[in-house]
Amino acid sequence: MKTDIECCFGALALELAPGTLASNLAMDQAHAAELAVLVAADLGRFVPAQAPLQLALLGAHVDPVELLRPGWPLHNTLAELAARAPGEHEGARVIAFGCHERKLPAPLTPDADLVGGPLRLLPWVLRGPRELIAPLAEQLEKELLETGMAGAATALYAQQRFGAKVEHARYLTLHDLVAMMALQYEHANLAALWPLIEASLFEPDAERVIDAPPEPLLRMADCTVRMAMLDIDAWADAGLAPEHTTPEHLAGNYDAFCVRQRQFEALLGAHHIVVEPVPCRVGTDPRVLLRR
């Protein structure tokens, strides 16, 4: 009888020193394999001895938004490539994906436009029989954030190969990463946007609405966000101006609203959430238009 195979997704998180920019985004195949062995040893603290599990590691670091996208595309690509690797039925093994002739497969290539952040992530996937993966995933959710510091050898190797000063290296589950990013969005005054992003990850069929003036007006359904696009008259008519706005401040507040719209659109785009602009005019209810 065929065994049901499941996956557990996570990441090796590298917290870089302030002002640090890694000189390398990816390792070659040989170095990625060496790092994967170190990662496997670290994660071995949580894995039953001799368990027939596969660890697949990407030997490249990405921005958090590259992992937090609907359908978890980077992790799923990593899992699919690991499943096609030779030796599928040979028990426990470690698989690494690094550069060949200085290139990675396109779906695994870090976005060169999303560099410079202090947190960089190396995605990993554990694959194995459901009866092993399910309790392991539950254990990692409970323990990894508190006890998942990477070994000194792992952190040093990553630092050397990526050419960046690593202050902390630890392992995270995707739920750990989501919780961390939710706090970062809150601290960046973007808490209003986070429920849409989180729903796109865990409830892609859910509906979410942002209708909290002076924030932009948005509605998400089927993982597509419809954004009301209004000129200054329609914006004021829809009640999206801040309370007690005086005529002399109206134009400035509207400009701020447009800046906020562009910020929301850029962030949603970085998470690969489709944004559909919906033109709205004076005399029409934008809330109704967003539902059409």
Query: Rounded distance, CA 183 to CA 176, Å?
Result: 11
| Residues whose CB falls within 8 Å of the CB of residue 10, separated by 6 or more in sequence, listed in order | 123, 124, 125, 126, 140, 144, 171, 172, 173, 174
pLDDT in tens, 168-226: 999 999 999 999 999 999 999 999 999 999 999 999 889 999 999 889 999 999 889 99
pLDDT in tens, 90-130: 567 899 999 988 899 888 999 999 998 999 999 999 999 99
Name the pTM for this structure. 0.91
pLDDT (0 to 100) of residue 204: 87
User: pLDDT above 90 covers what percent of the chain?
Assistant: 74
pLDDT in tens, 6-38: 999 999 999 999 988 888 999 999 999 999 999
pLDDT (0 to 100) of residue 163: 93
pLDDT (0 to 100) of residue 283: 86
Residue 271 pLDDT > 90: yes
Average pLDDT, the chain: 92
Lowest mean pLDDT across 80-94, 127-141, 255-269:
80-94
Residue 1 pLDDT > 50: no
pLDDT in tens, 247-257: 778 899 999 99
Distances (CA, A) of 266 to 20, 91, 113, 116, 262: 24, 44, 12, 17, 6
Residue 89 pLDDT > 60: no
Confidence tier at 2 by pLDDT (50, 70, 90):
low
